[in-house]
Amino acid sequence: MSQAAFARARANIALAKYWGKSDVALNLPAVPSISLTLDGLVTETTVRFREDLDADLVKLDGRVATAKEAARVVELLDRVRAAAKLGLRAEVESTNRFPTAAGLASSASGFAALAAAAAKAAGLRWGTKKLSAAARQSSASAARSLFGGFAKLPAGAPGQADLAAKPLYGPEHWDVRLVVAEAAKGPKKVGSTEGMERSRRTSPLYDAWVEKAPALTRRIQRALKDKDLDALGAAMEQSTYAFHACAMSASPGILYWQPATLAALRTVERLREKGTSVWATMDAGPHVKALCHAADAAKVRRALGRTEGVLKTMVAKPGAGIEVEAR
């Protein structure tokens, strides 16, 4: 049994949005989501179980992790150790090989790579589904990054411990592009976990979101099957606005947007008025991500790059699923 392993995973963007948990302890999503795994947005992680360690050693991007960051890593390692009946502490080195800090959540690729590397290093023979369920317990969006191309994470019923994402289509299914426009620097004020909980407890619109999101996800899944970008884009925008609506109308309201967010949204709207099929989405942050056909990506990127307040742009295409090897 090898005591070390390496994994490479890619970030993903939700086309049908996840917001809200049905079970906080088990980290189960209250609504189904559909994602696109992104080429070029890679996290590489090595896990080494070592006899000579008294505690887990966690390095992120070459620096020692903060206590809060390390705690989430150790929690996943503990679950892997329990499954493998392994007593050793681990050295974890994880690096985000992203071309820009464009506000794409690295927790998706990070926890996908960590789950795969840790399980392999611990000698567990977990398949992708099992790895997806393990990653999901740390970060729901990570469950989707195990799979390349397009994946779906169903909603979880409270108590359902083993929820995993499912592959829908490989990256070759549809040659779309995601153009990312960075709209602000710095971390957001309200983290997603806190934002979801506050939305659930205080937003007058939260229950309606949970009730209505599955229909939006079905529309998105159908449009994805049909490769109908206008149908998918319209439903993706609606899914985006509906989840931001829950966050905004929480008490106190959570507003992830910045002036440049609005400017970038206007740019996308103007491009569409001029005939380009391009649609916007935002995660729990200020950045705008525009979905378009490959042929339109350069034009969309130029327009977003020229938009007031936009700091940086980049383009991603459909990417591959998890890669793991023993070290």
Which residues sit at the interface with a second copy, rule CB under 8 A?
A: 204-205, 207-209, 212-213, 215-216, 234, 237-238, 241-242, 244-246, 248-253, 255, 257-263, 265-266, 269, 308-309
**Minimum CB distance to a second copy smaller for 246 or for 315:** 246
**Minimum CB distance to a second copy smaller for 56 or for 237:** 237
**Minimum CB distance to a second copy smaller for 179 or for 265:** 265
Count of Cβ atoms closer than 10 Å to residue 144 Cβ: 33
The secondary structure of residue 122, as a DSSP letter, is T
**Minimum CB distance to a second copy smaller for 122 or for 265:** 265
Shortest reach from residue 202's CB to a second copy, in Å: 8
**Minimum CB distance to a second copy smaller for 17 or for 81:** 17
Shortest reach from residue 162's CB to a second copy, in Å: 29
Find, among 284, 264, 275, the residue nearest to 33 by Cα: 284
Shortest reach from residue 275's CB to a second copy, in Å: 15
What's phi and psi for 291, nearest 5 deg? -100, 130
Which long-range contacts link 197-203 to residues 24+ away (Cβ below 8 Å)? 197/21, 197/24, 198/247, 198/250, 198/251, 198/252, 198/254, 199/19, 199/20, 199/246, 199/247, 199/250, 199/254, 200/20, 200/21, 200/30, 201/250, 202/250, 202/251, 203/246, 203/247, 203/249, 203/250, 203/251
The alpha carbon dihedral of 8, 46, 163, 104 has a sign of negative
**Minimum CB distance to a second copy smaller for 27 or for 267:** 267
Shortest reach from residue 241's CB to a second copy, in Å: 4
Give the integer Cα–Cα distance in Å for 92 and 46.
6
Shortest reach from residue 262's CB to a second copy, in Å: 5
Give the integer Cα–Cα distance in Å for 264 and 270.
10
What's phi and psi for 51, nearest 5 deg? -70, -25
Shortest reach from residue 245's CB to a second copy, in Å: 3
Give the integer Cα–Cα distance in Å for 313 and 303.
10
**Minimum CB distance to a second copy smaller for 113 or for 196:** 196
**Minimum CB distance to a second copy smaller for 212 or for 317:** 212
Q: Is the peptide bond before 252 cis (omega within 30 degrees of 0)?
A: yes
Shortest reach from residue 94's CB to a second copy, in Å: 33
Burial 256-285 (b: 16+ CB within 10 A, else e): bbbebbbbbbebbeebbeeebbbbbbbbbb
Give the integer Cα–Cα distance in Å for 50 and 103.
34
Shortest reach from residue 257's CB to a second copy, in Å: 6
